[in-house]
Amino acid sequence: MRITLGKISCVCVLSMIIFKAWATIKEDKIHWLAFDEAVTEAQKTERMILIDVYTEWCGWCKHMGNKTYQDDHLASYVNSHFLPVKLNAETRKKILFKGEPIPTKEFVRQQGVKVYPSIIIMDDKGSIRLLEGYHNEKELMSALKALEESR
């Protein structure tokens, strides 16, 4: 009888773990692009590039990914007005910036990013604006609208 109860308990625990993992996986509402793809598209459309700079260990970065960027209104606004890109600030993967390959880590440093999460807004001419730190969906929406209006 103990073996049966033990097996049942084990199955229940495993089921709960699997369900929790499945429930936390969300499909991104923002249509993230590769950096090079966004730069090419920005030159054609004159839309600004929104670069979400994150790290794997940053709790607030994860919170923005799971909460802020999952807001329907914000995601719709970002998808229609910006070319969104996610960049891991600590990777050495190279991106093409102003015609030159540069490690992502170096690009982020050159843009003045010192805080995670940060958002780099880049226009089609390469002009940069930086939003530092965590922003909830309302704060980010206000900041993005103000940036677009000042353009």
pLDDT in tens, 18-74: 444 444 455 789 999 999 999 999 999 989 999 999 999 999 999 999 999 999 999
Rg (CA), the chain: 20
10 part of a folded domain:
no
CATH number at residue 111: 3.40.30.10
Domain of residue 104, residue span? 28-149
20: Cβ–Cβ under 8 A, 6 or more apart, which residues? Answer: none
pTM above 0.85?
no
15 part of a folded domain:
no
48: Cβ–Cβ under 8 A, 6 or more apart, which residues? Answer: 42, 81, 82, 83, 121, 122, 123, 124, 147, 148, 151
Number of domains in the chain: 1
**C-alpha to C-alpha distance for 68 and 52, rounded to whole angstroms:** 12
**C-alpha to C-alpha distance for 7 and 3, rounded to whole angstroms:** 6
